[in-house]
Chains A and B, each alone.
Chain A
Amino acid sequence: MKKWIWYILAVLLILPLPYLFLLSFAAIWRHPDLWPEGFAIRHWKDSLLAGGLAESLLVSLFISATVALLGMILGFGMARLIARHPKRVLLLRAAYLPYAFSSVVYAFCLQFYFLKTGLSGTIPGLILSQILIVFPFAVILFVGHWGTRMFALEELVQTLGGTVWTAWKKVVLPLSKPILLLGFFQTFLISWFDYGFSSVIGLGQVPTLTVRVFQYIGESNPYFAAVSSCLLILPPLILLWANSAYLRQRYEG
């Protein structure tokens, strides 16, 4: 009995993926049919080429990769600084605030300043706005990595004759590679999933994939919406597949 409950649960959790792929490749799927009438790559071709979805994919990839890279670098350096700061606890608490705020409401709060500076509706503006939530998140993620041991190793290299740069190149960065990668993936996904900032700060002029999904749903075009949904799900799935061995070890003991 329990085994079956688990199987049903697992299927429910996975079901969105096959369904969205099925819908995106369905030639036509009428109500109340349980299965589409034939398959075609028409919707993929039309949306990517004529519908501008290829551009959206590139825009989203560029924005998320930039946000993740900047968030990771800034967050890692700042976490080092905060880890040894006397007001560490207070500074870290502040980091929770922007992250806990609904991004759409936060975006409306900032809209005035972004409009004044001409950043609204631009890719740099959207990147900047997303960094405002990704950066504190990265600090929270990385600060635990900067324990006394890490600082002691850094100092040890210096007493052995290395400069700060040597310590980072030979010890700190090699030891931090896994957490940096994790940080990159997580910040990438925060940006990748974002709709609040994209819709408000982007003013609909920065066509990210989430904006496209919403647009296609509004236009009652489920096939294009399914294609863009599939594009949104693919990178997280690839990241998941790439990290599956590590994750299983972590969660299954």
Chain B
Amino acid sequence: MIKPLGKFGSNSILPSFSQLGIGVYMFLVLFPLVAGLLYALAYSLGLVGALSKGFTLNHWQVVVGMPAIWKSFLLSLSIASGVVLLAAMLALATVLLLHPYIRKTGSLVFFIPLGIPPMVAAFWGFHLLGDGGLLARFIQKAFPFFTFPELTNDAWHIGVISVLVLLTYPFFCLQMLQAYHTQNVQGLMDIGKSLGGSRRYVLLRIGLPILWKNALPSLVLFGVFLFGAYEVPLLLGRQAPQMISVLIAQKFKRFDLEMVARAYVLTVLYAGFVLAGIWFLFKRKKAGRGA
């Protein structure tokens, strides 16, 4: 081990350069976000903007009083957590049960969906699941009297969820595959078996908890990303309720300044949710380190 140099860090060479660097960092990382949110807050309170008539809570009262807004947040939260859980479960099952086959074919299969931008994935989702899509055509050929259900722009958001799972699941698989090797999960499960554990027992009591714990921070982070998903629900979601990013963008795009003020209220609310998610992530990380 080399002795840590950390505590001599910042003032060892050219302290002014270091301070300047941190200044640039804050300027590029935090300043735009804070400035943007401050503007949003000021606009939502009637302090700035073309229609501003001085401080008012009017926009906030209107927005907070609209059940559709809360439905939208709830929908985003449900879809984000649903997709993360579904993708994580699938990935766990894939890595634990199909590991030998993945080794044979190669893990590169998982990289292919990661090379698809969300916009293209949404386009693909439309062509696969839409009522004139590939799946519908196959089913109509095979079962001519079967009515193909609505899978895009549908009430259950099946299209949105499927495509978001397609984009998330391979990432979790890769992460868990890596953990499978670095944490020597196979070796640990073999020890479990040699101690008398059944196959099912070692999978559930050894393999699953190790991979789950390892993946947890990414799951939370992905939850936060998916909460703000835009392109996929924009193309495959319903008109109402919409996921929050779509709703905010739609309000901004109307040429109605009242709507813009409401969009800024929503932006501030959304920021609150994201901050809470990130805070939760770091709280967990800290707790994990302390343990």
Where the two chains meet, the residues of A that have a C-beta atom closer than 8 Å to any C-beta of B are 2-3, 5-6, 9-10, 12-17, 19-20, 23, 31-34, 74, 77-78, 81-86, 88, 91, 93-98, 100-106, 108-110, 112-113, 131-132, 135-136, 139, 148-149, 151-152, 189, 192-193, 195-196, 200, 210, 213-214, 217, 222, 225-226, 229, 232-233, 236-237, 239-240, 244, 247-248, 250-253
A235 to B132, CA, bound (A): 30
Contact in complex: A229, B278 (CB < 8 Å) = no
Contact in complex: A13, B109 (CB < 8 Å) = yes
Q: Can you list 8 A-B contacts (CB < 8 A)? A: A10-B109, A13-B112, A101-B33, A101-B228, A108-B248, A233-B116, A239-B115, A250-B178
Instruction: Tell yes or no: B150 within 8 A of A by CB.
Output: no
Given contacts A217-B123, A226-B123, 20 further A-B contacts (CB under 8 A): A19-B127, A34-B137, A77-B21, A85-B9, A97-B274, A105-B267, A108-B263, A110-B32, A113-B32, A113-B39, A148-B6, A193-B117, A193-B118, A200-B252, A213-B123, A232-B120, A236-B114, A248-B108, A251-B174, A252-B177
Q: Which residue of A lies closest to B234 (CB)?
A: A214
Residues from chain A with a CB closer than 8 A to the CB of B261 are none
Name the contact of A196 in the complex, choosing from B7, B21, B138, B230 (C-beta under 8 A): B230
Residues from chain B with a CB closer than 8 A to the CB of A78 are 21, 24-25
Name the contact of B105 in the complex, choosing from A6, A98, A105, A213 (C-beta under 8 A): A6
Residues from chain B with a CB closer than 8 A to the CB of A15 are 128
Contact in complex: A98, B33 (CB < 8 Å) = yes
Name the contact of B5 in the complex, choosing from A34, A84, A86 (C-beta under 8 A): A84
A88 to B22, CA, bound (A): 10
A46 to B44, CA, bound (A): 46
A151 to B4, CA, bound (A): 10
- Interchain nearest-CB distance for A182 vs B (Å): 13
Please provide the chain B residues from 122 to 139 with a CB less than 8 Å away from any CB of chain A in the complex.
123-124, 126-128, 132, 134, 136-138
Contact in complex: A132, B5 (CB < 8 Å) = no
Instruction: Tell yes or no: B282 within 8 A of A by CB.
Output: yes
Contact in complex: B2, A152 (CB < 8 Å) = yes
- Interchain nearest-CB distance for B95 vs A (Å): 11
Instruction: Tell yes or no: B197 within 8 A of A by CB.
Output: no
- Interchain nearest-CB distance for B35 vs A (Å): 7
Name the contact of A81 in the complex, choosing from B22, B140, B180, B274 (C-beta under 8 A): B22
Contact in complex: B117, A210 (CB < 8 Å) = yes
Known A17-B112, A32-B132; judge A110-B36 contact (CB<8 A). yes
- Interchain nearest-CB distance for B101 vs A (Å): 4
Instruction: Tell yes or no: B254 within 8 A of A by CB.
Output: no
A5 to B166, CA, bound (A): 16
Residues from chain B with a CB closer than 8 A to the CB of A148 are 2-6
Known A84-B5, A85-B10, A91-B25; judge A192-B117 contact (CB<8 A). yes
- For B181, B231, B271, which residue has the most chain A Cβ atoms within 10 angstroms? B231
- Interchain nearest-CB distance for A61 vs B (Å): 14
A105 to B126, CA, bound (A): 24
Q: Which residue of A lies closest to B176 (CB)?
A: A251
Residues from chain B with a CB closer than 8 A to the CB of A85 are 9-10, 18, 22
Residues from chain B with a CB closer than 8 A to the CB of A109 are 33, 36-37, 39-40, 267
Known A85-B9, A109-B37, A148-B2; judge A14-B101 contact (CB<8 A). no
Residues from chain A with a CB closer than 8 A to the CB of B8 are 84
Q: What are the interface flags for B28-42 relative to A under an 8 Å C-beta threshold, 1 for contact and 0 otherwise?
A: 111011011101100
A95 to B33, CA, bound (A): 11
Known A86-B10, A105-B270; judge A131-B113 contact (CB<8 A). no
Residues from chain A with a CB closer than 8 A to the CB of B275 are 97
Known A105-B267, A109-B39; judge A98-B29 contact (CB<8 A). yes
Name the contact of A100 in the complex, choosing from B21, B39, B181, B277 (C-beta under 8 A): B277
Q: Which residue of A lies closest to B169 (CB)?
A: A13
A112 to B126, CA, bound (A): 34
A19 to B121, CA, bound (A): 12
Known A105-B245, A136-B29, A240-B115; judge A97-B278 contact (CB<8 A). yes
